Every structure is written in C-alpha cells, then in structure tokens.
Amino acid sequence: MITIISSTNRPGSVSLKLAKYYQSQLAIKGIEANLLSLIDLPPTIIVSDLYGKRSAEFEPIQQLVTNTQKFIFVVPEYNGSFPGVLKTFIDACSFPDSFADKKAALVGLATGKYGNIRGIDHLTGVCNYVNLHVLPMKIHIPYIKQELDENDHLFKEDTVKFVNEQIEKFIKF
C-alpha cells in the first residue's frame, strides 16, 4: 500500500496540490494511493501523541502508517529545511515499526530557487535513522508558483518527465 504524505499543515498549501497530482498520476498507472495531509493531524498532537501517549484521533493515522509499505513525502521548504510539523508527526508515530524496512520517495518544493534541496537532505538523514529506505531519485521543484496550471497539474515538459520517471522508479522500488 502506498501513502502520499502532504508534509505541512498550512491551510491552502501547494504541497497538498502537488500530493494530489502524484495521486492522480499513480491512478493513471492503475495504482490507488492514499493521501494523508498533515492538516488532518490532531491539533493537540504535541501533548496528546508524543512520548508514549496516543489519542483516539491519531489512532486511525497510526493505522494508516502501520499498513503502508511505501510512502511518498511531498515536502515544502520552510526556513531552509522540512516543516517542523513533519518531524513532530514522525516523532509521534510508533517507533520503530512505523517506518523501519519500508520504502519512501521524497519530493521537495519551494517558492524559492533551491526546491528544498537542504530539507530533502535533512529528511533523508531522518529516514536513514528510522531505517526507511529512500529512492535515490529525489525531485526538487523550485519556483513552484510557476509550475502548476489552472487544474493544479504540473505542465512543464521537464518537470512532468522527471516526476513521471520518479513515479515509475518508485513503483519498481
């Protein structure tokens, strides 16, 4: 089972739009993927789901993570890294079973010109720590505001090509 994680809780985030694009591209290839947006995390997460605690609201999210074998993280650049809420989410998930010996593809995006290269590197370090195997082909999309059409689909030839290549590799991974 594949789950795409839109890795921010910012209302109206572009990451969620891109995550939905990935979901639609997988669907075209006949693969149904779940979508988890971090906007759906319980707002109490820092008191209700860290350090051994587990809330009723987080339980279905943990179940989804537990049942997932392959994750696609769509990750915006926040202050030169990945969003703090993503680390909080990873910290809240049960360890080590949530991510160990599973697989992940990483996708970075930013309004700026680096496409979250550093944040994706930082997240790769965390994935390595939790034994989550990362697909070598990572995607970085800079200037994201210029990349989506009116249907929130990628349309630039190069970006579409590289994203498609990553998805093909991830299916085989």
Q: What residue number has its CB nearest to ligand FMN? A: 112
Amino acid at 1: M
Interaction of residue 78 with ligand FMN, rule CB under 6 A? yes
Chosen residue from 26, 65, 76, 105 binding ligand FMN by CB under 6 A: 76
Q: Residue 133: helix, strand or coil by DSSP?
A: strand
Which stretches within the chain are classed as H helix? Answer: 14-28, 45-48, 59-67, 84-92, 117-129, 157-172
* Beta carbon nearer to ligand FMN, 20 or 102: 20
* Cα distances (angstroms) measured from residue 87 to each of 93, 99, 106, 123, 173: 10, 13, 14, 9, 24
Q: Is 123 exposed, middle or buried (0-12, 13-18, 19+ CB in 10 A)?
A: buried
Is residue 66 involved in binding ligand FMN (CB under 6 A)? no
Contact status: 14 vs ligand FMN (CB under 6 A): yes
Within residues 121-150, the interface with ligand FMN by CB under 6 A covers 144
User: 2: number of CA atoms within 13 Å, CB side?
Assistant: 21
Burial level of 102, CB count in 10 A (0-12/13-18/19+)?
middle
Q: Site map for ligand FMN, 154-173, x if CB under 6 A? A: --------------------
In the bound state with ligand FMN, the residue whose beta carbon lies nearer, of 49 and 77, is 77
The single residue among 97, 101, 112, 128 that binds ligand FMN, judged by CB under 6 A, is 112
Stretch that binds ligand FMN, among 7-15, 27-35, 129-137, 155-163 (CB under 6 A): 7-15
Residue in 3, 9, 15, 166 binding ligand FMN, rule: CB under 6 A: 15
- For ligand FMN, the binding residues (CB under 6 A) are 8, 10, 13-15, 76-80, 109-112, 144
